[in-house]
Structure 1
Amino acid sequence: MDYRDTVFLAVAENLSFSKAAEELFISQPAVTKHIKELENKYKVDLFERKGNRILLTEAGKLAYSKLLAIRQAYRELEFELGSMGDVFKGELRIGASSTISQYIIPDVIAGFHKRYPQIELYMINGNSFEMEQKLLEKEIDIALVENPSSQANINYLTFFSDAIIAVAGANSRFNKRQSYTLSDIAEWPLVLREKGSGTLDHINRILKGKGIDTEHLNATIHLGSTEAIKGFVKNSDNVALLSDKAVKKELQQKDLIKLSIKNLEMNRDLRLAFRQGHVSDAGQLFTDFLLHYNI
């Protein structure tokens, strides 16, 4: 691909000249120059400004769609040529939900890189809904998500299971009882993840199945990261519902305690997500590695 095409894709995916410059390690004027050269070449505007934002024009949307396919073809060509010499080369872009990216997948990524050092890995994180959107928009090759719902045009494959558990600070008032009931949950001052979080989606589904109206939970605050929630709960009289993998260290160090709830289990499947009809060679290689990895 021409380097100007690479710059265009970076701007189109970030909808920002400055973020594209940071991603490509070049100056913002250089980004502007490359885009202007492309527009002069094709004699069309590829972006339009709306206030402080930039958007793709119709011509820009067409160029983005075609160049995405070309970039993918280059990646697969590089991979297939490398595999002929038993040297796997290429590029793999992975999107992972916050819990998976922080507490579950890092060891897998390290092991995959050690086994296939010639494959360039890029990983971004956000909530599960955001990762599915990036997958559908072809910004990533694979998504690792924790939400139980499914979207059209995406195929899902379970790769691991964890459990959502209730935790509180070791010095909180919740350390005074051996166990709690389902009715207690409605009274707890809860710290929850933000809307779009796979963890929150799973909690809502399980509690509704138990007859608990999640719209009327006593959610005192919603925070955008598990680390923020853990820090908040450790120093307050609140309860959090989090992945057991995310609080493993804090439970061992006795900074947090697990609250036992009678007749409630919140086990869930963590899933690989692919666009229907397409899995890149590097993506398939990563999938096989992940499914055989002892997490």
Structure 2
Amino acid sequence: MDYRDIVFIAVAENLSFSKAADNLNISQPAVTKHIKELEIKYNSNLFERKGNKIYLTHKGKVVYNKYKQIEQQYRELEFEIGQLNNNISGDFIIGASSTISQYLIPKTIASFYKRYPKLNIHLVNGNSFDMERLLLDSKIDMAMVENQASQAGIQYKNFLDDELIVVSGKNSVYSKRKNISKIDLLQIPIVLREKGSGTLEVIKEAFLKQNLNFENLNVPIHLGSTESIKNFLLAFDGLAIVSKQAVKTELYSKSLVEIKVKGFSIPRKFRIANKMGHKSRQIELFENFLFQYNF
């Protein structure tokens, strides 16, 4: 890509000339010069200023979306030429939801990197909704999510089974109870993930299927990660619903205790998400590796 295009993308993603200059290690006047040259080239204003902030104009958004597609095509080209030369290289950006990025994918990526050491792998993490949005905006090459909903323009493929389980800290009064009822589950204080979390979405769907009113849960607090929930449980007299994959170590060490709910379970699938249409060779290569990996 032309360097002016790279500068434009940096400004568009930061909505700041100064931050773009810092990221690219160039002066702010140089950034301004490159943007002005692009606006002359396209005979259009690409940014508009409102107060102290800048925003993309409609034409600026069109340019940004096309440039992101071109940027991705450049990465794919570099990767495919590397394959032809038996020297796989280039950038590969994976987005993963919180549970997957923390507890599953790091070891997989490490093994993948051993096989392809000249490939620059970037892992972006956040909740499932955020990863789907980044995918649709062409800011990542593929996403790995834990929600059950489907977004228009995205294809999904299951790659691993998971289960959400009810747990309590070892010092909680509820840790001595091996089983509880559905009514108990609604009444006992419980900590859950934040809005937008794939885990929370799956829990809500499970309650709907079981004819239980999710809104009747006694939820004193929502936390932004499973790690924070695990730490919170150590001093919390209550429960949490978390991925079994995420608490294997704690269940083994008995710092957390699994509590069965009679007639209630929450199975789910971890999924790969790709934009509709063309699938790059990087994605195909990583997907094949993923389905052969022993989690």
Counterpart for residue 209 of structure 1: 209
- Quick one: structure 1 residues 47 and 266, their matched pair in 2 at CA, closer, same or farther if it must change by over 3 Å? same
- 2: CA distance, partners of 1:19 / 1:188: 47
Change (3 A) 1:151 1:259: same
Aligned to 2:199: 199
Q: Which residue of 2 aligns with 1:13?
A: 13
- What is the alpha-carbon distance in structure 2 between the residues aligned to residue 189 and residue 155 of structure 1? 37
Q: Which one of 29, 33, 37 corresponds to residue 30 of structure 2? A: 33
Distance 1:156 1:19, change over 3 A: farther
Match of 1:256 in 2: 256
Q: How far 1:264 sits from its partner (Å)?
A: 1.6
Q: 1:21: Cα distance to partner?
A: 5.3
Change (3 A) 1:101 1:195: same
Residue-by-residue CA offset, 1:197-229 (whole Å, 9 max, x unaligned): 110000111111111100121111111111111
Deviation at 1:39, TM superposition (A): 1.9
Q: What SS class does the counterpart of residue 229 from structure 1 fall into? A: helix
- Runs (4 or more) in structure 1 with deviation over 4 Å come to 16-22
1:270-289 to structure 2, matched below 5 A, reads 270-289=270-289
Q: Which moved more, 1:93-102 or 1:46-55?
A: 46-55
Unpaired runs of at least 5, structure 1: none
1:151-178: per-residue Cα shift (whole Å, max 9, x none)?
Answer: 1111001111111011111011102222
Which deviates further from its counterpart, 217-226 or 59-68?
Answer: 59-68
For normalisation by structure 1, the TM-score amounts to 0.93
TM-fit CA distance, 1:16:
4.2
Are 1:103 and 2:90 an aligned pair?
no
TM (norm. structure 2) is: 0.93
Cα distance, 1:179 vs. partner?
A: 0.8
8 Å contact from structure 1 (residues 90, 282) kept in 2: no
Answer yes or no: is the 8 Å Cα contact 1:39–1:46 preserved in 2: no
User: What is the aligned partner in structure 1 of residue 178 from structure 2?
Assistant: 178
One-letter amino acid of the counterpart of residue 135, structure 2 = L
Q: What is the count of residue pairs matched by the alignment?
A: 292
For 2:141 and 2:88, locate their aligned partners in 1 and report how far apart those are by CA, in whole Å: 17
SS in 2 for 1:88: coil
Is the 1:4–1:35 contact (alpha carbons within 8 Å) kept by the matching residues of 2?
no
CA 1:293–1:232: 2 relative to 1, 3 Å: same
Partners in 1 of 2:179 and 2:173 — Cα distance?
A: 13
Match of residue 233 from structure 2:
233
Specify the alignment match of 2:247 in structure 1. 247
Counterpart-to-counterpart distance in 1, 2:281 and 2:168 = 44
More divergent stretch after superposition (107-116 vs 56-65): 56-65
CA separation in 1, counterparts of 2:21 and 2:218? 44
Q: Distance in 2 between matches of 1:238 and 1:8?
A: 50
Determine helix, strand or coil for the equivalent of 1:139: coil
Cα offset for 1:12? 1.9
CA distance in 1, matches of 2:230, 2:17: 36
For residues 175 and 144 of structure 1, the distance between their equivalents in structure 2, rounded to whole angstroms, comes to: 33
